Amino acid sequence: MFKPKIIVIGSINMDLVTTSTSFPMQGETIKGIDFKTIPGGKGANQAVAAARLGADVRLIGCVGSDDFGKELKSHLLKENIQVEHVNVVQKYPTGIASITVSNHDNSIIVVPGANDCLTPEIINEKEEFIAECDLLLLQLEIPLSTVMKAAEIAKKHGVKILLNPAPVQLIPQALLEMADYLTPNEHERTYFNDDKSIQDKLIVTYGSKGVRFNENGNEKQIGAHKVKVVDTTGAGDTFNGALAVSLSKGDTLEQACLFGNAAAALSVMKFGAQSGMPFKEDVEKFLKTSAPG
């Protein structure tokens, strides 16, 4: 069976997750209910989603030489992700995300740490490694210059580029042009201009309202599945990982969005970004019994 080769160039974080009954107001101290450390980072999350959903995944990123870095690297290996190009840096600690989960919603502060050490020079040395792949999956939790360099190399070698523009920021026009697919959520969508060339690449996620995209000049929408939400952290990452797998297998955009939408629905039913991510068989089974709303 064909296993697409997906390369993820992105962030690796340890998520420090506090659950509480409400979000603290500015200047307020509140009592939490629970605290957990869970592997995260948009890059690593999307890599795990794609690997669980049947791709051959390689990840390029940076962690610190601390305990979090060691734990995350061995965790990624257990998820069947090639990590020989995950660099261990001495200068900065492993990236972390301080996450508060309350009432099925979350707020996140990311401290990039070692993720900021992933330079364009490092990516330049991986040209052959990138060129071998079917699809490059990018997010914006590493330096923008590094994202640009990765996209340039992928474009040169005809590797498809899926850019998840999160956390959102102003993106150079050249990067938008190089990307084959852009996957903002409804808030990030407002950062994009109305150029026709960009509109056609947009696949916009609307949380509990599903996903919208253009295919062959027609605007299409797929509603979300009705599921019991436990934690939405990493739902977007699951969608992106699944979309990447499906597209690089040659599925149509609509098939890929249906697959991603179902994978994301399953992910929100469990706690944690990666801990809730489904495997290929789970999504296939779910799609036989649940239709999008």
Does the protein bind ligand RIB through residue 276 (CB under 6 A)? Answer: no
**Beta partners for 108?**
99
Give the three-class secondary structure for 277: coil
DSSP labels for 31-98? --SEEEEEEE-HHHHHHHHHHHTT-EEEEEEEEESSHHHHHHHHHHHHTTEE-TTEEEESSSPPEEEE
Beta carbons of 57 and 8 less than 8 angstroms apart = yes
Is 231 annotated as catalytic?
no
Q: What binding mask, one character per residue, do residues 71-100 give for ligand RIB by CB under 6 A, x or -?
A: --------------------------x---
Q: Does 101 bind ligand RIB (CB under 6 A)?
A: no
- For ligand RIB, which residue of 82, 164, 185, 233 counts as binding (CB under 6 A)? 233
**Is beta strand 56-64 parallel, antiparallel or unpaired with respect to 81-82?**
parallel
Name 111's Cβ contacts closer than 8 Å, sequence gap at least 6.
95, 96, 97, 98
> From the CB of 215, what's the least distance to ligand RIB, in Å?
26
257 versus 264: smaller Cβ distance to ligand RIB: 264
**CB-nearer residue toward ligand RIB: 40 or 54:** 40
Angle at 7 between CA 218 and CA 74, to 5 degrees: 135
81-82 and 13-19 as β-strands: parallel, antiparallel, unpaired? unpaired
141 binds ligand RIB (CB under 6 A): yes
**In whole angstroms, how close is the CB of 116 to ligand RIB at the nearest point?**
13
Give the one residue of 4, 7, 9, 13 binding ligand RIB; rule: CB under 6 A. Answer: 13
String of contacts with ligand RIB for each residue 156-195, x by CB under 6 A: ----------------------------------------
Distance CA 114, CA 164 (A): 20
At its nearest, how many Å lie between ligand RIB and the CB of residue 40?
3
Helix, strand, coil percentages in the chain from 3-state DSSP, rounded to 5: 35, 25, 40
Taking CB under 6 A as the rule, does residue 42 contact ligand RIB? yes
Q: How far is residue 82's CA from residue 129's CA, in Å, rounded to a whole number?
A: 11
The one segment of 7-15, 81-89, 155-163, 204-212 that binds ligand RIB by CB under 6 A: 7-15
Active site residue ranges: 237
Q: Rule CB under 6 A: which residues touch ligand RIB? A: 11, 13, 15, 40-42, 45, 97, 108, 110, 141, 233-234, 236-237, 273
